[in-house]
Chain A
Amino acid sequence: DQQVKQNSPSLSVQEGRISILNCDYTNSMFDYFLWYKKYPAEGPTFLISISSIKDKNEDGRFTVFLNKSAKHLSLHIVPSQPGDSAVYFCAASAWASKLTFGTGTRLQVTL
């Protein structure tokens, strides 16, 4: 039972363009959503989060959008840079509990 889904295993974007990574969830109890970035042989690095009471949160080149009615969130990276190439995980929690992760999307930013 996959409660958090990232349906695109990979994405390739040209440098300077927008990267859009998507995530869907099924558990309506989730109230906090996070995006992590992971390089090979390293632990996940926190990128950005959003509370369920908001629909948008922005931090520099990163913006997360939450559509509660559709149980969908997305991460926008603008402009994309080669250093953004990594695996991106969407995660969700319900009242300060364990994180439930998606299976990740591998982003490749090409020159």
Chain B
Amino acid sequence: GAGVSQSPSNKVTEKGKDVELRCDPISGHTALYWYRQSLGQGLEFLIYFQGNSAPDKSGLPSDRFSAERTGGSVSTLTIQRTQQEDSAVYLCASSPDARTDQETQYFGPGTRLLVL
């Protein structure tokens, strides 16, 4: 595809359930990033991948959050035992190569997660 795609676009879940969010980066982009935007807040970094490895997981808010990337392409962000404060828009971005300085990140449309 031409851009970053994310699925689902919207997700409503009950507190305590697990959710999986998916990101398909731009073809050929080796770097992939996850961010989230809570209501009334700016965008907050969660984790980034260079290939299949995650050099920086510093933004993951708790051990309920995990992410993986396989084949250097698709990534899934998993939130276990969801809490109401996890409600946010989860955004994925990709760039050609995180090891190259000054790479522009291109964002997907986001997944809107609501935890009831």
Interface residues of A (CB under 8 A from B): 31-32, 34, 36, 41-46, 49, 51, 89, 91, 93, 95-104
Contact among B33, B44, B107 with A36 in the assembled complex (CB-CB below 8 Å): B107
| A residues less than 8 Å from B102 (CB atoms) | 31-32, 49, 51, 93, 96
Complex Cα gap A95–B97 (Å):
12
| CB pairs A–B below 8 angstroms (21 shown) | A31-B102, A32-B102, A34-B104, A36-B107, A43-B4, A43-B6, A43-B93, A44-B107, A46-B104, A46-B107, A49-B104, A95-B101, A96-B98, A96-B101, A97-B98, A98-B33, A98-B45, A99-B43, A99-B93, A103-B41, A103-B42
Whether the Cβ atoms of A100 and B45 lie closer than 8 Å is yes
Encoded as 1 (CB less than 8 Å from any A CB) or 0, chain B from 98 to 116 comes to 1111111111111010000
Chain B residues bordering chain A, tally (CB within 8 A): 30
Complex Cα gap A44–B33 (Å):
13
Given contacts A31-B102, A32-B101, A102-B42, contact A97 B108 (CB under 8 A): no
Whether the Cβ atoms of B106 and A46 lie closer than 8 Å is yes
The verdict on B16 contacting chain A, using a C-beta distance below 8 Å, is no
State the Cβ distance, A93 to closest chain B Cβ, in Å: 8
Complex Cα gap A36–B107 (Å):
10
